[in-house]
A and B are shown apart, each in its own frame.
Chain A
Amino acid sequence: MTSVLEVKELSKSFGGNHAVNNVSFAVGAGELLALIGPNGAGKTTCFNMLMGQLAPDAGEVLLDGENLVGLPPRAIWRKGVGRTFQITATYPSMTVVENVQMAIMSDKKRLFSFLPYARNLYREEAVTLLDLVGMAEQADRAAAILAYGDLKRLELAIALAHKPRLLLMDEPTAGMAPSERIKLMQLTADIVADKGISVLFTEHDMDVVFAHAHRVMVLNRGEIIANGSVDEVRDDPLVREVYLGGGTVFADKEESENA
């Protein structure tokens, strides 16, 4: 399997705290790869380094063989990487569809054009994307008044706007009702399968993970302690230990959004 993303010996520490320690992995083309681990394991830090929001202390991030380290997020985005945030980041002063149009305008390099009305630009494309995530009816509502789950779906639409090769999704279903989570992940799985996008996502809901991930990696205290198929990881004693100290397997733990 050819890998889209290859991460080599990535490390980051804050003060003495090794948030991410010597992490290596790869994401295959079309693969839906889950990165799980308890709170504070370093997942978000890892994402931040992949997307260029944080500079790693050491290591390489290769997108189709090209090193991304040192590039700002906007440049990495232009190379075909999209991202959703653990705490949703949208533009509250704009409508839902404008949020998506904004990303498309950026993709089409129209950011510095003064002449057209932005609201008329790429509206159809944006609505198509919203339709894909089931948000088309809400296209003209203000993003500021959306329910949290809808914001997550909006973020997905935004992330898809530039037809990325790789999507990084940090807890895409956090804060949603359990039934909704499965639906959203199903939707995501369908979309990426359809478009051939590779996805790296973190998730706390193991039902979601086990239902959709092609492969699972477990991060603990900044280090990868397991990496394999859903079944392999589920049965890994170390993983059980870390997660629960024994007991029931991967109970549905509600996480605080700010984890």
Chain B
Amino acid sequence: MKLITKIAGLAMASAIGLSSVSAFAAETIKIGEINHYKRMAAFTTPYQNGIKLALSEVNGAGGVLGKPLEFIYRDDQGKPGEAVKIAEELITRDGAVMITGTIFSHVGLAIASWAGQKKHVYLAAEPLADALVWAKGNKYTFRLRASTHMQASMLAEEAAKNPAVKYATIAPNYAYGKDAVAAFEKALKKLRPDVVFVTKQWPGLFKIDAGAEVQAIEAAKPDAIYNVTFGGDLAKFVREGSTRGLFDNRLVLGLLTGEPEYIDPLKDEAPENWIVTGYPWYDFKDGANKTFVDAYMAKYSERPGIGSLVGYMVVKTIAAGITKAGSTDTEALVKAFEGLDVATPIGKIHFREIDHQATSGAFVGKTKLKDGKGIMVDWTFKDGANYLPSDEEVKAMRPASK
């Protein structure tokens, strides 16, 4: 009993200590950053590094509205309910003025719904679900990254240039995978009505049975394969596929496959000649991209990932938004974010008034092995603005309340 009392006392004391720390630092503008830090550390660590780099730049230049910008990082454990609780805590107890972050779409959607109800600004950084700004969009939610729809459309455009007619798809069996296949199919059919989809494979996320998947795709004899798997699933799929010759003489398209976070672990087994979206950080000769990469490597002595770029852009976006708003009041922020233009390493992005989606683009290129590592060559940067649906389409998708 005594021990328990003691432990409780200690816990109390440190809890009070914790809250008083945040009370002292009231002179900063706080942003609540929620992410799946633990389980997705391969992605969130570069992401957090990107944030910190941008913060040092922003605060080095005097902060925003004369105050330094401060991020409070919290782990959501991948649970939407937990994320909502943390969001509430960040706002009501830690004094955050808005929320950003999340990598999983379902967590992003939960926070977006909460933001809409409780009227707090949420800048979705990583989650790619289309619903976030369309079917389930709301006034208080904004999204930074090029969404599933945008990236899939870019790949479809490249695919359409090839003679392939029979397509197979493989995507993790959850919403992101399904969105990515649906968007690709729709975009490709628009460009090439003759295309048919001969098989669609849906391995469980991070539970792929790669040998079986490869055999199933092979059995359908497609001309082209559209891959949405990533992480460990991708590694297994690529290895089984290469071993069994699945990719020989076939067009393969890979969504996100060229992102350093996903292609680097493949090392010298990275597939060649896939058309992928990704991030060719090694290939920039000059301009803002190069400046960012150099600054990042100088600070961390390791390569940036796509997450680093996103984290960096998050801070730049928020700094620009608060500056434009001239205050941290929620309604003022919403107004400021609508139509906000932000200068980023990948160029100027624009947050559309109609759906709060930023026009962030993506890099599309071909994979190649170089020095025992997969890279992208012949890449181009595609402006996201060209891959977004028209205002009419958006209006039809977004709930009336806006």
On whether A and B touch (CB less than 8 Å), the answer reads no
Q: Which residues of A pack against B, CB within 8 Å?
A: none
Residue positions of B touching A, CB distance < 8 A: none
